A = this chain, B = another copy of it.
């Protein structure tokens, strides 16, 4: 009884502190060793428990909730390979800076490395991919141990959200018997009953002298550009668009910058650069002297190449997370500072600059490219590019658009046009995997009312198990499944020129009729026949609950042709335009 009392007091204090630290959701995978933690968590009135049998999907599901809320989500599993299944989502959380609290139950010390069942070495199980690891003490019931459990909990939550946010891992050894003593006073704490320690995470700022110096350089610069990758700070859109307005700098806005949609000014937003930066004439007149870069590396390869070709430009990288996002070694000034504060502070020292021909060139070429996109929009083919060129119109106000990796995120980058709807765009761009996408979107859907997920068939296949959550929790989601029966992105890579073994190694057609599995999860499955069909379904989508899958069957070879035709047509127009401008 003494053992169970200690077990219960220790865990209850930990769980209560978890709630005090702002954690509202935990995803639990069933198991035996984790029994005391799971049973105590289930008793807490302010903790939402989600059960997921497949730990890989469970961790991505938690990742989705954390992405949508910017709050840490907790995950709990038993000992053994269960914990190893968390690894892909933990890696993604680490690189995409999403807070996760990973709780693994473990055998106690005397049952480790001695052949006991379901016992693996869980110490530093995730290596460098968590921000913090702590092997927890065995449960005891005394003031010091309870204080310890509560501070470790508060600390773990704080570290998880500290910029750069990321996963933390606590490993709990539990001895049998594993049953806690549950009663009404479970979560009553004798000390500091409303929270043991509040952690105030500071933001990185740089001093005014440095800001003034940068302001001076920027004011003198006539050919500056701003590049924005994935960034989540809600104040950033206004801050950076205000800065662009006074500087007269174009903003090259990645789809994940959250700048292509929304109520902020879009006057300076350039969004079709992935297309026009494939053209040498455009690149020759758009060369920047200064680059201000915010957020993660942009999706666009054409932009990456363009920046690399302009390595003589001064490049300022502003990173609130103190990372080193600079794969081409271009940065001249690495500025570890909150991005929104940086923009706002800079505005204090810069007055509105006069308009520039350079800004006009960016705007004109962007406009021209958008006009040519109408040809895609007016096509009747069920093409991947057309889907993304009209998706902002198909989605309702307030929607969340989650996009799969490989081709969908690239097509979104190419064809997702500025709009003033409130559309939140999400993707797993930490490590760019095709794993866990369904689960992440479903997790995000818990906290984002209208969730639309667009992904390819391999990505859909990879996380089929994730669909279980939609069924178990009646989550509303609309999945647009682009089924080109295999790996479409490889058609754009050099290996596609080597036909021998190409389909075996890269094309990898699965030949699956996904209707079967969607039915298993009680979903509606619709094979789209034409654009009017999907437009109609999207119009009615707000009224459709549960799991809805809309399959658009496309062809990999035709898709490649369409992209190439579009790029060469735009390129021709841009070259003509540039030559006309110069004349």
Residues of A within 8 A of B (CB): 28, 30, 32, 35, 38-39, 42-43, 49, 51, 53-56, 80-82, 84-85, 87-88, 90-92, 94-95, 110-111, 113-121, 124-125, 127-129, 177-179, 182, 296-297, 323-327, 329, 431-433, 435-436, 458, 461-462, 464-465, 468, 471-472, 487, 489-490, 493-495, 498, 500-501, 504-506, 508, 510-514, 516-517, 519-521
What 3 pairs across the A-B complex have the smallest Cβ distances?
A115-B325, A81-B433, A516-B520
Whole-angstrom distance from the CB of A17 to the nearest CB of chain B? 21
Q: Which of B42, B88, B505 sits near A84, CB closer than 8 Å? A: B88
CA distance A179 to B495 in the complex (A): 7
Known A49-B504, A81-B91, A115-B297; 11 more pairs at CB < 8 Å: A30-B487, A30-B506, A35-B493, A39-B495, A39-B498, A80-B433, A87-B87, A115-B296, A119-B431, A512-B521, A514-B520
Copies in the complex: 2
For A90, the closest partner residue in chain B by CB is B84
Contacts of A129 in B (CB 8 A): 84, 120-121
Contacts of A517 in B (CB 8 A): 516-517, 520
CA distance A173 to B519 in the complex (A): 43
Q: Which of B94, B113, B505 sits near A30, CB closer than 8 Å? A: B505
A87-B84, A327-B115, A505-B30 given; A462·B54 CB < 8 A = yes
Once the chains bind, are A494 and B178 in contact (CB under 8 Å)? yes
CA distance A92 to B118 in the complex (A): 10
For A319, the closest partner residue in chain B by CB is B115
CA distance A88 to B56 in the complex (A): 10
Whole-angstrom distance from the CB of A343 to the nearest CB of chain B? 20
- Among A28, A82, A329, the most chain B Cβ lie within 10 Å of the Cβ of A82
CA distance A42 to B505 in the complex (A): 8
- Among A81, A329, A458, the most chain B Cβ lie within 10 Å of the Cβ of A81
Once the chains bind, are B115 and A323 in contact (CB under 8 Å)? yes
Once the chains bind, are B505 and A39 in contact (CB under 8 Å)? yes
Once the chains bind, are B80 and A179 in contact (CB under 8 Å)? no
Once the chains bind, are A465 and B464 in contact (CB under 8 Å)? yes
CA distance A514 to B468 in the complex (A): 12
Of the A-B pairs whose beta carbons lie under 8 Å apart in the complex, a sample of 13, sorted by A's number, is A39-B505, A56-B85, A80-B433, A81-B91, A81-B431, A94-B120, A115-B323, A121-B128, A461-B468, A468-B510, A471-B511, A471-B512, A512-B520
Once the chains bind, are A114 and B495 in contact (CB under 8 Å)? no
Once the chains bind, are B32 and A493 in contact (CB under 8 Å)? yes
CA distance A501 to B495 in the complex (A): 53
